Amino acid sequence: MDGEEKIVIPVGTQTGTAFRIRGKGFRYLDRRGRGDQIVETVVETPVNISEEQKRLLFELAELSGETGDDSAGIFKKIKEALGR
């Protein structure tokens, strides 16, 4: 819980994914060593984007084969945030 630590967040990581940083948590009370620090991700979907950015997002969705029918897909979340 002190200092800095770098972690790699893989592409496609979803909200709620937890990463463990071993030995970087709180010190144990009755013994030596430290616990692990758990980092949970929160992915935010952009809402204030330009028309060009919207067009590119929809084009990317089409290229990746997402139709918006998938209840957990990132492009469905973007469409909901944009009101489409």
Residue 64 is predicted with a pLDDT of 76
The rounded percent of the chain whose pLDDT value lies above 70 is: 76
Here the tokens at position 15 are 């909200």
| Those residues with Cβ within 8 angstroms of residue 69's Cβ, 6 or more apart along the chain or in another chain | 76
Residue 43 is predicted with a pLDDT of 84
Type of residue found at 72:
A
**What is the band of 46 on the pLDDT scale with cuts at 50, 70, 90?**
confident
Segments making up each domain of the chain, as ranges: 1-43, 45-84
**What is the band of 79 on the pLDDT scale with cuts at 50, 70, 90?**
low
Write out pLDDT tens, residues 2-19: 778 889 988 888 899 999
pTM of the model: 0.56
